[in-house]
Structure 1
């Protein structure tokens, strides 16, 4: 499996819609990447120093996030793969101390 360490600037006005799509399973149904994307974005963190969302994404595309990018760019600007091959647990551990994206960016909930 390949994991990517991702940073992106949330489009705050679009976050309520994204949260709804994550919660209702709409994104999870997208094949082949929906379930992995749902897990990653549900667990995404917020970096207060940069104002960016950060997460680890399971991804098998070349270039990285080729299929996911269309969805991600609806809700985020400047989607950047910071590291193409990161150990999943180590990637999440790097951002474990950051607040949840959903605690810091309005989700409409």
Structure 2
């Protein structure tokens, strides 16, 4: 297992649907990646300097995030792995000062 440090540009008009799917447990029910993806997206941050969502994703795929992209590609563009094997605590610490993705986007609405 590896943890990926991920950045992606949110498709803002699609994110309410993603939030609904996360809250309803639809993403979490996807196996095997759903629980990890749900946790990562729930805690995702927003980088106002780049207009990107940022998170650390637990990943078992080769190539990285292959399964998760079945969800992510519907809600984000320019998805990129900034660091392919990051210590999860260190990764989250690097973005701890950024606002939460969901709160930041709700404030923009």
Q: How does the TM-score come out when normalised to structure 2?
A: 0.95
Partners of 1:105 and 1:11 in 2: CA distance: 11
State the partner residue of 1:22. Answer: 22
Tell me the matched-pair count.
Answer: 107
Partners of 2:62 and 2:83 in 1: CA distance: 14
State the partner residue of 1:8. Answer: 8
Partners of 1:66 and 1:95 in 2: CA distance: 24
Residues 42-85 of structure 1, C-alpha deviations (whole Å, 9 max, x = no match): 00000010000000000011111011112100000011011000
Residues 81-100 of structure 1, C-alpha deviations (whole Å, 9 max, x = no match): 11000000000000000000
After TM superposition, list the pairs within 5 Å mapping 1:51-66 onto structure 2: 51-66=51-66
Partners of 1:82 and 1:70 in 2: CA distance: 19
The CA RMSD over aligned residues, in Å, is 1.1
After TM superposition, list the pairs within 5 Å mapping 1:52-91 onto structure 2: 52-91=52-91
**Deviation above 6 Å: which 4+ runs of structure 1?**
none
| Unaligned 5+ runs, structure 2 | none
Q: How does the TM-score come out when normalised to structure 1?
A: 0.95
| Unaligned 5+ runs, structure 1 | none
